[in-house]
């Protein structure tokens, strides 16, 4: 990969033209292209539209939709990789069950969300290892650490959160999520009392087609009244952190030559990805190092990118990353982020990709980046070029 990038740089030097132009205009049969990128609506965990739905069913529905939009028989798919963090079944079993029912991600933070606390059993050797205890930092504390260390004020975090909701609501109003969202049929259960005072369960079928997270009327003044969640004198609140949510998403990739052979729609070209590592105590800053790393790999500068989708795990870390990289506000999460939409952990990367591709298509722009912090210290970023 590095040698190919170097050859590209040499070619640019000889032939003239910017690295951005060459990346946009490049075409090769061996390119990895994206032929489908879809997601479910995102619902509130515990009380939202998917509270009675199993994660396997969510994933199965989105895998079927991804194959349909790619115009392929699922039998031609060689490999499925499923992101899943908290489910009791575990990612492999959830993914396998969904495949039999029917690169994806799913998370039901309604079901089996017991892993939010310290594990009951930890190896004594691991506990004694220098620095190992850092991986057990509560994520909210890492947000507080980022805010404190990099001087991200409570006021700025709250304002960032308000803007996330405003952008998401505007996108909903304009129908900008419609192309990426697959409506999901759900059997919802409610308990009521009959005329004798006896409880009975009622099941009704509903179609969910809209994200539940964006809140109208959110203001900095209202958010300022919320108490810090993780530290008495902290700045991270329920209002400026991502929402606990349920959802699933899928992205279908293949060689350009295969996509042409099968007649698949080529939505975008996958240009590369990079993973970096940070201290667990400030894990949220991962995009601040992963983005420059992947841009260097493909020969781009920060300003060459049209849209950045940086996951809003917390306003503190998303703000820091954007400021550190000097990303223009207009380029950052133009349809809102996880503070407004929600953050089903295993879904987020694929969700970002579907959101990015549809926005690039809508605006006619070309180059996009998705990035997120992950895994208690990691950062990942990927670059795509829109081809429609």
Chunked into runs of 10 residues, the chain (388 residues) has average pLDDT values of: 54 67 95 97 92 87 93 87 64 50 54 52 64 70 90 97 98 98 91 78 91 95 94 93 92 95 97 92 93 98 98 96 98 98 91 98 98 88 95
CA-based nearest residue to 264, from 65, 66, 71:
71
In a domain, 278, yes or no: yes
In a domain, 52, yes or no: yes
In a domain, 22, yes or no: yes
Pair type for strands 104-108 and 82-83: parallel
Give the three-state DSSP class for 238.
Answer: coil
Alpha carbon separation from 345 to 25, 245, 312, 313, 349 (Å, rounded)? 34, 8, 12, 10, 8
Q: How many CA atoms lie within 13 A of 10 on its CB side?
A: 6
130 vs 133: CA distance, rounded Å: 8
Q: Where are the beta strands (DSSP E) in 235-375?
A: 245-255, 268-277, 307-310, 367-374
The pLDDT of residue 99: 47
Phi and psi at residue 297, to the nearest 5°: -60, -35
In a domain, 127, yes or no: no
Phi and psi at residue 377, to the nearest 5°: 140, -5
* Number of compact structural domains in the chain: 1
CA-based nearest residue to 321, from 280, 282, 354:
282
Residue numbers of the domain that contains 22: 2-115+132-386
Structure tokens at 359: 């926005």
297 vs 355: CA distance, rounded Å: 24
* Sequence-distant (≥ 6) Cβ neighbours of residue 206 within 8 angstroms: 49, 185, 186, 188
- Judged on CB neighbours under 10 Å (0-12, 13-18, 19+), 287 is buried
Structure tokens at 78: 């060689």
Q: How many CA atoms lie within 13 A of 93 on its CB side?
A: 6
In a domain, 18, yes or no: yes
Alpha carbon separation from 178 to 39, 347, 355 (Å, rounded)? 10, 18, 10
The pLDDT of residue 101: 45
Identify whether the C-beta of residue 51 lies closer than 8 Å to the C-beta of residue 191: no
Structure tokens at 118: 């310290």
The pLDDT of residue 179: 97
234 vs 171: CA distance, rounded Å: 31
Alpha carbon separation from 356 to 212, 277, 291, 350, 371 (Å, rounded)? 19, 24, 15, 10, 11
**The pTM is what?**
0.86
CA-based nearest residue to 138, from 277, 311, 314:
314
- From the CB of residue 298, how many other CB atoms can be counted at a distance below 10 Å? 22
CATH number of 34's domain: 3.40.47.10
* Sequence-distant (≥ 6) Cβ neighbours of residue 143 within 8 angstroms: 230, 236, 241, 284, 313, 314, 316, 317
- Distance between the two ends of the chain, CA-based, in angstroms? 25
The pLDDT of residue 115: 47
109 vs 203: CA distance, rounded Å: 22
182 vs 248: CA distance, rounded Å: 10
In a domain, 199, yes or no: yes
In a domain, 124, yes or no: no
Report the alpha-carbon angle 308-310-314, nearest 5: 150
In a domain, 120, yes or no: no
């Amino acid at each position: 990969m590095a040698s190919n990038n170097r050859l590209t740089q040499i070619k640019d030097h000889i032939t003239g033209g910017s690295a951005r132009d060459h990346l946009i205009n490049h075409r090769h049969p061996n390119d990895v292209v994206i032929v489908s990128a879809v997601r479910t609506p995102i619902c509130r965990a515990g009380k939202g539209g998917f509270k009675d739905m199993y994660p396997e069913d969510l994933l199965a529905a989105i895998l079927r939709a991804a194959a349909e939009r790619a115009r392929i028989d699922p039998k031609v798919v060689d490999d499925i990789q499923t992101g899943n963090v908290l489910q009791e079944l575990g990612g492999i079993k959830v993914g396998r069950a969904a495949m039999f029912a029917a690169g994806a991600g799913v998370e039901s933070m309604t079901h089996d969300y017991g892993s939010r606390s310290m594990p009951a059993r930890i190896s004594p050797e691991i506990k004694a290892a220098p620095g190992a205890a850092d991986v057990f930092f509560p994520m909210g504390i890492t947000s507080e650490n980022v805010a404190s260390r990099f001087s991200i004020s409570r006021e700025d975090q709250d304002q960032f959160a308000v803007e996330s909701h405003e952008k998401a609501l505007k996108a909903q109003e304009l129908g900008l999520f419609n192309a990426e969202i697959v409506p999901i049929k759900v059997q919802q259960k409610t308990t009521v009392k009959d005329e004798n005072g006896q409880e009975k369960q009622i099941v009704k079928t509903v179609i969910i087609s809209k994200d539940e997270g964006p809140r109208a009327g959110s203001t900095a003044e209202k958010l300022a009244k919320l108490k810090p969640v993780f530290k008495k004198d902290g700045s991270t609140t329920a209002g400026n952190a991502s929402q606990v949510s349920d959802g699933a998403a899928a992205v279908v990739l293949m060689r350009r030559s295969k996509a042409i052979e099968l007649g698949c729609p080529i939505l975008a070209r996958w240009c590369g990805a990079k993973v970096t590592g940070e201290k667990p105590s400030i894990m949220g800053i991962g995009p601040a190092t992963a983005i420059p790393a992947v841009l260097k790999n493909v020969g781009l500068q920060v300003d060459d990118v049209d849209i950045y989708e940086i996951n809003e795990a917390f306003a503190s870390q998303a703000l820091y990353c954007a400021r550190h990289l000097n990303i223009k506000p207009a380029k950052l999460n133009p349809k809102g982020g996880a503070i407004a939409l929600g953050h089903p952990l295993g879904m987020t990367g694929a969700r970002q990709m579907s959101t990015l591709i549809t926005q690039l298509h809508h605006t006619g722009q070309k180059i996009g980046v998705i990035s997120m912090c992950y895994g208690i210290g990691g950062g990942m970023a990927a670059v795509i070029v829109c081809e429609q």
